[in-house]
Amino acid sequence: MELTELNKISFDIAELATPLIGISIAMLFGFALKDLITNTIYGVKFICAEHWAAGQEVILEGKKARIIKVGFYETVFQVECPNGAVLWRYISNTNLANIDIARVIRESNE
């Protein structure tokens, strides 16, 4: 094989690979942008809901918690564990629809 034939073959491969690489990069950015937009929409919905606000006491998956911050991408909860430990849970706003969360209206005096 001569050098000119190798150059032609490498040029043909580059011609075929360039659009595939471009399409792959565009798809990666598209999926990342979709996730960002989805989380932002859920965040805005959660922020605009009158019954959810920072400082609000909630029951999060059966544990007493407090909403620390409602962001556009994620919401932060402070969870009190039975052993006295305090944890901060960072939950993506798209996952809030799948999590058992209830607002504490008032605590019983028992």
- Positive or negative, the Cα torsion across 92, 94, 100, 104? positive
Nearest C-alpha neighbor of 102 from the set 72, 47, 45, 62? 62
The parent domain of residue 49 ranges over: 1-105
Q: Is residue 3 included in any domain, yes or no?
A: yes
Task: Encode pLDDT of 40-84 as tens digits.
Answer: 888 787 777 777 788 999 999 988 999 999 887 888 999 988 888
% of the chain with per-residue pLDDT over 90:
23
Per the domain annotation, does 34 fall within a domain?
A: yes
How many domains does one find in the chain? 1
- For 83, the token pair is 């052993």
Give the integer Cα–Cα distance in Å for 46 and 97. 10
- CA–CA dist 75, 13 (Å, integer): 47
CATH number of 79's domain: 2.30.30.60
